[in-house]
Structure 1
Amino acid sequence: MITSGLVNVFTHDVTRALAFYAGDLGLSETFRTPTTGVPEHVELSAGGFVLALSSAEAARRVHGMDVQVGAAAMSLVFWVDDLDVIYGELTDRGVPGVTEPHDTGNDNRNAVVRDPDGTLVELVAKRSRLNDVG
């Protein structure tokens, strides 16, 4: 029986990816290994969602996995409170924007950026919530 899970994003530079996910996006670090020095694996929390950042080199060395860093076969999706503000803050800090904030179906407002390795990161907010706040 499966008891929990996480999404593991592979990177060539865990420290750089951590600066984006913890620094720019504000996810909370919950675990890292090794505990000192340059990490090879870090887990972060966003509500009940767990995101792991793992070194592609460690994946090959430890698990024999040949991973493709930054391949756009998936995207990470994070729900946010104020999409336009967050997108502006990220792109002002040099995070590459892919799609500017735009209205989509299901009362959503979406935007897409790329993490330092090129992984697509989609940001989503409910338009009705934005109207209630503004």
Structure 2
Amino acid sequence: MFRSPQVVLFTRRIEAAAAFYRALGFIEVFREPAEGKAVHVDLELDGYRIGLATERSAREDHWLEPVASGQRAVVVLWTDDVRAGFDRLLELGAQPVHEPSVWLDRLLIAWLTDPDGHLLQVVQDLSTG
């Protein structure tokens, strides 16, 4: 019945947001319009898709009242090295929220925000290594 779930994040700066996620290894798989200033971009990493949509398009094309600020959702990025991932995200312009710390005695977790202020959680399973 359902398939291919994804999350769409509303943004005020779609090109900067898309560049940020591409720098993390996401591959752009959809852009509307194909030429010129985008109103929607989909990016994929390991079979998971994130969409980016402009606030304006959400309002004018879909009659929504989008929120592009605040902690309304989180993009979770699993890794084998949270500290290196945290540092890489900082290099790409993410802002730190909480340094890496152990949670539940088996997960190492760090929190940041992307350039639009969306939360990012970087997670490492300490029980597998």
* TM-score computed with the length of structure 1 as normaliser: 0.88
In structure 2, the CA distance between the partners of 1:74 and 1:106, relative to structure 1 (3 Å rule), is farther
Is 2:88 the counterpart of 1:74?
no
What secondary structure is seen at the aligned counterpart in 2 of 1:97? strand
- Cα pair 2:22 2:43 within 8 Å, conserved: yes
Tell me the residue number matched to 1:92.
Answer: 91
What secondary structure is seen at the aligned counterpart in 1 of 2:16? helix
- Cα pair 2:8 2:50 within 8 Å, conserved: yes
Distance 1:68 1:35 in 2: 25
Runs of 4+ in structure 1 off by over 3 angstroms are none
Q: CA deviation at 1:17?
A: 0.5
- Cα pair 2:32 2:38 within 8 Å, conserved: yes
Is 2:10 the counterpart of 1:20?
no
Q: CA deviation at 1:115?
A: 1.0
What secondary structure is seen at the aligned counterpart in 1 of 2:100? strand
Gaps of 5+ in 1: none
Q: Equivalent pairs: percent with the same residue?
A: 32
* TM-score computed with the length of structure 2 as normaliser: 0.91
Gaps of 5+ in 2: none
**In terms of mean alpha carbon deviation, does 81-90 or 57-66 score higher?**
81-90
Q: Counterpart of 1:39 in structure 2: which amino acid?
A: A
What secondary structure is seen at the aligned counterpart in 1 of 2:34? coil
Tell me the residue number matched to 2:9.
Answer: 9
Distance 1:69 1:106 in 2: 34
- Cα pair 2:20 2:92 within 8 Å, conserved: no
Q: CA deviation at 1:106?
A: 5.8
Number of residue-to-residue matches in the alignment: 129
Distance 2:124 2:102 in 1: 10
Q: Counterpart of 2:57 in structure 1: which amino acid?
A: A
Distance 2:113 2:64 in 1: 23
Distance 1:123 1:88 in 2: 11
